[in-house]
């Protein structure tokens, strides 16, 4: 494993020690790969993923534009399931770029965290 990845995992462990999602207030987890961006709502009490959204189908636009679309879609699905609040887990990534785009678009669509 690369040094960057080890440091990211360590940051994520520190974050996860403080955060936990419930059915009423699930954890919004953001994951990035070199090509795609993923976001999920997770209930840590039961250990189940409630909603998962990615930008695999959307190939137009920049990575940040596609991340904004992921945040909007996740927030719409969450509001359909009557989930209005969540806990944001940036997964050890810095809060900028695609991670920030997902968070901002989810907030603008109506999800609170």
For residue range 3-21, what is the model confidence (pLDDT) as tens digits?
999 999 999 999 999 999 9
SS3 105: helix
Nearest residue to 31 via CA among 50, 8, 4: 8
Structural domain that includes position 44? 3-109
- Separation between Cα atoms, residue 1 and residue 63, nearest integer Å: 25
* CA trace torsion 73, 77, 80, 81 (10° rounding): -160
Describe the strand order of the beta sheet including 37-43 as a list of residue ranges.
48-54, 37-43, 27-32, 87-89
Angle (deg, nearest 10), helices 63-80 and 98-109: 40
Query: The whole model's pTM is what?
Result: 0.91
Beta bridge partners of 89: 29
Q: What's 83's domain CATH number?
A: 3.30.420.100
- Separation between Cα atoms, residue 64 and residue 15, nearest integer Å: 24
Give me the number of domains the chain comprises: 1
Reported as a single tens digit per residue, the pLDDT across 64-98 is 999 999 999 999 999 999 999 999 999 999 999 99
């Amino acid at each position: 494993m690369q040094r960057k990845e080890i440091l990211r995992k360590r940051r994520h462990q520190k974050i996860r020690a403080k955060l936990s999602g419930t059915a009423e207030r699930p954890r919004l987890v953001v994951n990035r790969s070199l090509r795609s961006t993923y976001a999920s709502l997770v209930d840590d009490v039961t250990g189940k993923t409630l909603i998962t959204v990615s930008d695999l189908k959307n190939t137009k636009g920049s990575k940040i534009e596609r991340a904004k679309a992921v945040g909007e879609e996740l927030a719409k699905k969450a509001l359909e399931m009557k989930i209005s609040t969540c806990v944001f887990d940036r997964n050890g990534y810095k809060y900028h770029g695609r991670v920030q785009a997902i968070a901002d678009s989810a907030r603008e669509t109506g999800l609170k965290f």
